[in-house]
Structures are given as C-alpha cells and as structure tokens.
Structure 1
Amino acid sequence: MRRRIERIEEIELELTKLNASRALAAVPKQLEVLSVGGSTLLREPTNPASIYYNRVKGFGAQDVPLLDTILNHYPDGAPCFDLTPDLLSPDVSRALIEKGYLPAEQLVFLHADPLQKFEGTYEFQFELVTEETAEKFIQWIALSNGGMELTEEMVARSKPYFYRPDFKNYMLTIDGNPAAMGSMFVHGQAGYLANDFTFPEYRGRGCQTALLRHRLAEAVQLGLDTLYTDVEFGSVSHANMERAGFRTAYLSAFWIKDDK
C-alpha cells in the first residue's frame, strides 16, 4: 500500500501546484512548498484560510516533536493536516487533538486501469481544449462558478495552462450547449482526473459517467498505465467513479482546527 500512497501523493502534489498557477483569481496564487522533517508543507499567503492550499502532507509520528515548528509556518491561519492511513497513529491523533484539531472530512482516493475502448452515445460530443478554444473553456469555468467576473489579465495569465500537454481538459456538449467538463493531469505514466462538473440542467443524464469513460479511453492513447482521482467519501461523485470502474486505493482524513 505504501508505494501506491507515495505515487498518489506525488501526483496530487504536482496537480496542486498546477492548480495554483492556473487559478482564475484576481491576485495570482503564491503557493509555497516547504519541508519540515518528513512533512511537506503547502502554504499560500494570499489565502491563508484555504484548506486546499494550506495543507501539511506526510505528517506522522516521527514529526510529532516538530509540530510547533510546523504550525509556526502558518502565522495567519491554521493549516489542514492531510493524513494518509499509514501515518495516522495514536501519537499523531493525540498531538493534533491537543492543538485543537479534529478529523472533519474524509476523502477516498481511487484508481483504475485505462479503458481500451469507449463507445459514446450520439447526443454527447467531446472536445479537447486547444489554444483556439481555451478562452471558451474559461468562460465555461466562470459559468460553473455562478458567472464569476473575469478580467483580461486573469484570462491571459491562466489561458496557456488549459492546453498544456500534461493538462488535458475536456468539454462535453449536448446539442451544442455546455453540459459537462473535466480534466486529466498527466505525470509520468499516470493520470489524475479532476475538476469534474456537470451543469445543473444536464444532471442525471449520464454526462459525468460518459466523460469519465472518455478520459479512461484517452489514457490508452497517451500510454498511461493507471488513473487516479479523489472524491468525498460517500458522495454522488464517489458512486459515479465506482460505476465507471474505479476502485478504492485508500481513505485519507483532513484534520482541521476546531475554533469553537
């Protein structure tokens, strides 16, 4: 299990760095990655309240004596401790609880083999985002976020990331209308599926399952041997992933400071 965890942790960290760089934000993200003992610290000073960009990964019993040092790297907020099952121990739990931390969320990490062939239905049209269509895709992202306002500077800064060779983004349309979207981050021989979204009026029509299987088939063309993803445990997305052929790799817990 440890080798699989290490592989997923590596690709998930690289995806987090990419997400920070390509974020559609008025103020560019300034993600920092530090090492303290065996722990990897993610810190984003422009948004210290974000539990995604302010995380401690790899924290285990060997780093309990360094806990105060780790926390001192977050002067403007409390980081989230992203704990894999192999590192969660009574000593770790006790140390975090004493600092006011509690497990607040559980993510399930899943894996699947590429799909040799996928036959879609006539109503689904798939399109890989290119340099020519990147701005249209960014408009889709804005629409999925309630019509967020975009500036020319934000679009120009983020646009090149959406058609990078290692970051594949897909649009699914029905009758020419935006229906669903998702991405596949490529790192070595593995891919990571993320950023899945279906527009409300098209939910319940199998869009995400089709988009998942489309990317599983695309992975064959890219020569990938494994695909990973993560979702909230027990969610609708979790069920969708399992229907598409994903299997559980492990559960990870997010420990968050309880300020009550």
Structure 2
Amino acid sequence: MEALIPSSALVRDIELSEREYMYDRMTAIQNRIGNPEGIEIVQFGSALCLYSKTMPWGTFNTVKGITSHDLEYIQPIINFYQERQRKIQFEVVPSIVDAGFLKMLSDHGFYQTGVHTSTVMEPRIFDEQLPEHICIHELNEDQFETYAMIHCRGTGLPDDGIAPVAANNKVLLHRPGWKFFMAYVHDEPAAVAVMYSNHAIASLTFAATLPAFRGIGLHQFLLKRRIEEAKRNDCRLVVGQCSFLSQSHRNMERVGMKIGYIRTTWTNDEGV
C-alpha cells in the first residue's frame, strides 16, 4: 500500500473528521434532557465554537475549523467565550491559516501554548491474531458504567466523574457512526476505545487503559481493531489524534499511521 501524500485536500479531510466527531458528540450531550452539561454550539463563518458550562476542559471549550477568511469573526468569538467566563482556545491547523491570521491572534493577546498531532492512514486488515488471554468486543448498552470507570481511571479523572462520563457517552451508542470497544485480559475489563465514522473517514476519538494493564499492547490492539472496522465499513481514511511523541503517537506509528499535520493551540491569559 502506497503512503498517503500530504496535500491541502488531505489536511481538509483530517480537519473535517475531527470537527464532525466533536460536533456530533457535543450535539448528543446537548440533547440530553435539560442539557445538564450546559452545552452551546455556535458557528462563526467557518469556525465551530464549542462550550460546556460544567466541563471546563479545553476539549469541550474550543474553536475548530477557523481559517484566514474568518478574521472578522475573531472578536465575536472572543466575546462569546468572555461572556461565559471561559478561557478561549483556538485550534490552528496549518495550510488553512496564514501569517496575517496569526498576527491578528497575537495582536489580541493570544500565543501558542501547545501542539497536537493528527495522524492518518488508509484502513487495512492486519494478518495477526490476539493473544489467547486477550479479547476485544463491542460495548453493550449495560456496560457504560464499566466503560466510564476505565475512561476515568485511565485518564486520571476522579471516580466522581464516572456517572457523568457514562451518561455523556451512552447517548452516542445508537447514533450513526459511533462504535465503542472494550479489551479484556483474562476476561477482566482492561481498556476501552471509541471511533466515529462519517463521509468514509473514521476518527479514532478516544482510548484509555487501566494503569494495571499498561505495557502489554492493549492500545495497539485497539488501534488495529478500529482500523479493521473502518476497512470493513468501506472507509477510505482513518484519522487519529494524540499528543506529539506520546505513547499513543508511537503506537499509532507502529501500526502504520503517519503524521497528517501538527496543529497548534492558541490561548491568552484571560478567562478562567
């Protein structure tokens, strides 16, 4: 299989995939009775602005898809988050912004505070078998508390987050495109992973492993399982997100994924 060649079209595909899965996730949470997480989703030009009143993390309070054609919307976007007393975070993707855009962010007091890696590959089937003591199954509806326990403990969140994490993910189970997987070691739940597919592109949206089960390849096994699922569902691309040079990044490279782009995060000193 030939390697994907970097191009503006490939960047657009990757960025669209990331934007669509977060839009669908936030919409599903917003549609819970009473909107308990206080979700708001607003579009300014090409920019998708996500906000959650109860979830202060950057993932749920960020600006996606902004381009150099959206200069007129920078101040309205700033106003949107300031009115909600939330720290503003712009996700800046290379090739869809120019120097003038970056200068305007700087003029408004923003500066680069982080980098994030987006990886990509064409889906394939791996000619490998899981070790006998490891198996991977799709999640059942009654397993979301277990999913949430692994999600929280695998990412360092406290156990009092288990109930809301379970509720915010269970609403995705029957939405088109979403699939959840759990890996077991000697029949004990040990790791989880999620994917979202749309427009023939699969996004590997989340994965976590309990600390006691790390170092035995579960993350790689779950990557391969989702990549194969994408192949069986006629996807043409698989996209992943990870911190640069993290263990997740190294595992993605090991299974054949390559860097599509490295986007930067821009914030300022205002907000909470």
Name the counterpart of 1:127. 137
Distance 1:122 1:203 in 2: 17
| 2:158 counterpart (131, 138, 146) | 146
Distance in 1 separating the partners of 2:209 and 2:238: 21
| DSSP-derived class of the 1:217 partner | helix
Q: Is the 8 A contact 1:31 1:42 kept in 2?
A: no
Q: Cα 1:66–1:222, aligned 2, differ >3 Å: closer, same or farther?
A: closer
| Structure 2 equivalent of residue 19 of structure 1 | 25
Are 2:256 and 1:245 aligned? yes
TM-score of the pair, normalised by structure 1: 0.86
What is the identity, as a one-letter code, of the residue corresponding to 1:235?
A: S
CA distance in 2, matches of 1:11, 1:54: 18
1:35 and 2:25 equivalent?
no
Q: CA deviation at 1:208?
A: 0.6
Of the three residues 161, 182, 185, the one matched with 2:172 is: 161
8 Å Cα contact 1:17/1:31 also seen in 2: no
Which residue number corresponds to residue 54 of structure 1? 61
Aligned to 1:234, what secondary structure does the other structure show?
coil
CA distance in 1, matches of 2:52, 2:165: 19
Provide structure 1 residue ranges, at least 5 long, that are not aligned to the other structure: none
Instruction: Give the AA of the match of 1:55.
Output: T
Q: 1:27 to 1:149 in 2, by over 3 A?
A: farther
Q: Secondary structure at the match of 1:34?
A: strand
Q: TM-score, normalised by structure 2?
A: 0.82
Q: Distance in 2 between matches of 1:165 and 1:159?
A: 13
Does the 8 A contact of 1:48 with 1:77 survive in 2?
no
State the alpha-carbon separation in 2 of the partners of residues 150 and 36 from structure 1. 33
Q: What are the equivalent positions in structure 2 for 1:1-260 lying under 5 Å apart?
A: 1-20=7-26, 21-22=28-29, 28-37=36-45, 39-47=46-54, 49-74=56-81, 75=83, 76-117=85-126, 118-144=128-154, 145-148=157-160, 150=162, 158-258=169-269
Structure 2 unaligned residues grouped into runs of 5+: 1-6
Name whichever of 108-117 and 139-148 sits farther off.
Answer: 139-148
For these two proteins, the number of residue pairs brought into alignment is 257
- Does the aligned pair in 1 maintain the 2:38–2:54 contact within 8 Å? no
CA distance change for structure 1 residues 201 and 15 in 2, over 3 Å: closer, same or farther?
A: same
- Deviations along 1:17-71, one digit per CA (max 9) or x if unpaired, are 33333499x972343333333x313132514843222222333333334422221
Moved more, 128-137 or 204-213: 128-137
Match of 1:245, SS? coil
Structure 1 pair 141–48 and aligned structure 2 pair: CA distance change class (3 A): closer
Distance change (3 Å), C-alpha of 1:50 and 1:202? closer
Question: How large is the Cα RMSD of the aligned pairs?
Answer: 2.8
Could you tell me the percent identity over the aligned residues?
22
Q: What SS class does the counterpart of residue 215 from structure 2 fall into?
A: coil
